[in-house]
Amino acid sequence: MLGVFFCVVRRDLKLAMRRRSDVFLTLTFFIVVASLFPLGVGPESSLLRTMAPGILWISALLASMLALGRLFAADHADGTLEQMILSSEPLVVIVLGKVCAHWLISGLPLVCLAPLLGLQFDLSANANFVLFLTLFLGTPTLSLIGAVGAALTLGTRGGGVLISLLVLPLYIPILIFGAGAVVAENSGLGSASHLLLLCGIFCAACALAPWAIAASLRIAME
């Protein structure tokens, strides 16, 4: 099963490299949205430090949602997804590989870039490190939950809007704990409790989301 998993990841990464514009669109959106706030709010350092966790997390959340519609759409259009469902390999492993590739393409670049954007908000080194940790734990969870919404709306008209309506309420706890960890670190309260909650949500999503995605894909293809 590990061979199947890595095969799916490698395949999706190769396909993504042929569509580099999609990858750069997500990064560009994240950079532009996060950079516009300091220009609009002003140069006051204390205000920027207060707003930074929410702004960076919301920007990352919205940027990660841009790629959700393309997660299964191309495979559905050319019939590859149907062959995956009919294959003898476990569909749960296949979809987990696709979600992992999606995160490597659209989530990991945001995680690496966020601390650099945090500098323009005058975040301290500790707060920047916590921001990196929260995004490293939170963005895979966003991909797993978003994949469930993408599978449920596969082939429907206006699927992008439906995905947003389905997954945004489920994203709220991740946003609260992720931004709250950076706020707590900034105020000197410590971020350990928020990080543990993010770990718990991530573990729950890893255990439950692949089965929900596989079931949703089977329903969508019937």
pTM (predicted TM-score): 0.89
Largest CA distance in the chain: 59
Alpha-carbon distance of 217 to 151, in angstroms, equals 5
Alpha-carbon distance of 89 to 77, in angstroms, equals 21
- The domain ranges of the chain are 2-64+76-221
Q: Residue 182 — left, alpha, or beta (φ > 0 → left; ψ -120 to 50 → alpha)?
A: alpha
Sign of the torsion angle spanned by Cα atoms 44, 47, 50, 55: negative
pLDDT (tens, 9 = 90+) of the chain, 222 residues, equals 778 888 989 988 888 888 777 778 888 888 888 888 878 777 777 888 888 888 899 988 988 888 787 788 878 878 888 888 888 888 899 999 999 998 998 889 899 999 888 888 888 888 899 999 999 999 999 999 999 988 888 877 666 677 888 888 899 999 999 999 998 888 888 888 999 999 999 999 999 999 999 998 888 777
Contacts of 52 (CB under 8 A, 6+ apart): 118, 121, 122, 123, 127, 182
pLDDT for 106-134, tens place per residue?
889 899 999 888 888 888 888 899 999 99
Alpha-carbon distance of 74 to 1, in angstroms, equals 23
Q: Which of 46, 71, 198 has its CA nearest to residue 122?
A: 46
Q: Which of 144, 142, 153, 166 has its CA nearest to residue 219?
A: 153
